[in-house]
Amino acid sequence: MTDFAGATNEDVRLMMRSIIQRIATGPELSKDVSLDEARIGMAAILANEVDPVQAGIFLIALRMKRETDDELKGILDAVRETTCTVVADVDEVVDIADPYDGYNRCLPAAPFLPAVLAACGIPTLTHGLDRVGPKFGITHRHVLAAAGVDVDLSPEEGAARLANPELGWAYLDQRAVNPSLHALVGLRATIVKRQAVTTTEVLAKPIQGRHRTHLITGYVHKPYPRIYALLARHAGFDSALLVRGVEGGIIPSLRQPGVCFAYQQKGEEQAFDIDPVTVGIDQSVRSVPLPEDLPKAPRPGDEIAVAVDVPATARAAAAVGLAALEGQPGPTYDSLVFAGSLALWHLGRADSPSAGAGQIRTVLDSGAAARRIR
């Protein structure tokens, strides 16, 4: 007996068959399913109660017809129901959700932002996994491990780090917070294309604050701010900051104006303009460039995954990230200033991005952020 809101194994088998018959009928005849049907279907996949072929059809057929809001909510509910969730002994938590498939065109700076925000008195969580498509890029786990950070904490250990005033931040891996979801990495690689799991997994919300939990995530394509705001409210995030960042991450371009979205107190999202010049950034590059001497790692037949050597790139990102935490100027330093200034302003800890940038520069130049790594 498998209990998905009272459904038996036979109920789930018949429902999955019905779902596939409806969603996989072609571009003109495919039909939508309800929130509960999407939740039960995804829950059955996570419980390994569905044939892998059917699981793949479920995910890619939804993608090809375009998931509805209710279908995404249902899939998110199934993800959150299987996620180990802990309430940290702090009033509020900032949840940084960078793309789980990582970066392949720049050195990621975002893995070091939690330490910077923690130095500003804001308990901050980041999360991810080791390797997943479609990009198979450099992830927070890779960079933080290269910097000597423990990336295999349990949710309880992560929450304890957030509550420790000398640390105040943590990284959690999907393998620890949702093993069932992590077990789908191979299936997702076989599917190749982005699907609903990619959208919803970053909203799993493994650590919450006693009173408030805030989301900071990134996007590239125009439809996603509305979708992420919708799902963030559904997951119970009190506020959300949605940054149009480089490679879909939370770091905006360092050399041109951009657009972000945000909501407060679970209200409607609003757009606002940002400009690196307003926070004192004058860069000729849009992000932290890849070093020219990085070894390559070509993947024959794969034009999606980048041909960079992951361990070498992670070490390079860790080196410039640790230097930035010690106050060394450069693109990584400016990336932390820009993203951090927006976070402080969004959270009401600064009257403007410019004022927030001043606070971030102080904790970088003083070494206060670097001490959070040690």
Say if residue 281's pLDDT is above 80: yes
pTM of the model: 0.93
Q: 41 and 15, same structural domain?
A: yes
**How far is CA 84 from each of CA 25, 70, 233, rounded to the nearest angstrom?**
36, 23, 19
Q: 109 and 57, same structural domain?
A: no
Residue 1: predicted pLDDT: 37
Is residue 33 domain-resident? yes
Determine the structural domain holding residue 113 and report its residue range: 88-373
Report which of 374, 373, 296, 278 is spatially closest to residue 334, judged by C-alpha positions: 278
Q: What is the mean pLDDT of residues 203-221?
A: 97
The type of residue at 225 is P
Q: 107 and 67, same structural domain?
A: no
Is residue 1 domain-resident? no
Q: Per residue in 124-139, pLDDT tens?
A: 999 999 998 888 899 9
Q: 197 and 100, same structural domain?
A: yes
Q: What is the mean pLDDT of residues 26-34?
A: 85
Say if residue 26's pLDDT is above 90: no
Residue 299: predicted pLDDT: 56
Q: Which of 81, 114, 143 is the last residue of a domain?
A: 81
Q: 128 and 253, same structural domain?
A: yes
Tokens describing residue 235: 């997951």
Is residue 253 domain-resident? yes
Say if residue 218's pLDDT is above 60: yes
Q: Per residue in 72-124, pLDDT tens?
A: 999 999 999 999 999 999 999 999 999 999 998 999 999 999 999 999 999 99
Give residue 192's pLDDT band: very low, low, confident or very high (50, 70, 90).
confident
Q: 272 and 359, same structural domain?
A: yes
Q: 206 and 161, same structural domain?
A: yes
Higher-pLDDT residue of 158 and 14 is 158
Q: Which of 47, 81, 115 is the last residue of a domain?
A: 81
> Looking at the 3D structure of the chain, how many domains does it have?
2
Work out the percent of the chain whose per-residue pLDDT is above 90. Answer: 81
Work out the percent of the chain whose per-residue pLDDT is above 70. Answer: 95
Is residue 4 domain-resident? no
Say if residue 304's pLDDT is above 60: no
Higher-pLDDT residue of 87 and 221 is 87
Q: What is the mean pLDDT of residues 252-262?
A: 97
Q: What is the mean pLDDT of residues 203-212?
A: 98
Residue 303: predicted pLDDT: 53
Q: 57 and 179, same structural domain?
A: no
Q: 97 and 150, same structural domain?
A: yes
Say if residue 28's pLDDT is above 80: no
Q: Per residue in 312-324, pLDDT tens?
A: 999 999 999 999 9
Q: 265 and 159, same structural domain?
A: yes
Q: Which of 52, 81, 110 is the last residue of a domain?
A: 81
Q: What is the mean pLDDT of residues 22-35?
A: 86
Q: 346 and 323, same structural domain?
A: yes
Residue 5: predicted pLDDT: 56
Q: 328 and 291, same structural domain?
A: yes
* Residue at token pair 């038996």: 8
Q: For the domain that residue 35 is a member of, what is the CATH number?
A: 1.20.970.10
Q: What is the mean pLDDT of residues 229-258?
A: 97
Is residue 3 domain-resident? no
Residue 278: predicted pLDDT: 97
Please, how many CA atoms are within 13 Å of residue 333, restricted to the half-sphere of its CB?
19
Q: For the domain that residue 357 is a member of, what is the CATH number?
A: 3.40.1030.10
Sequence length of the chain is: 374
Is residue 243 domain-resident? yes
Report the chain's mean pLDDT, rounded to a whole number.
Answer: 93
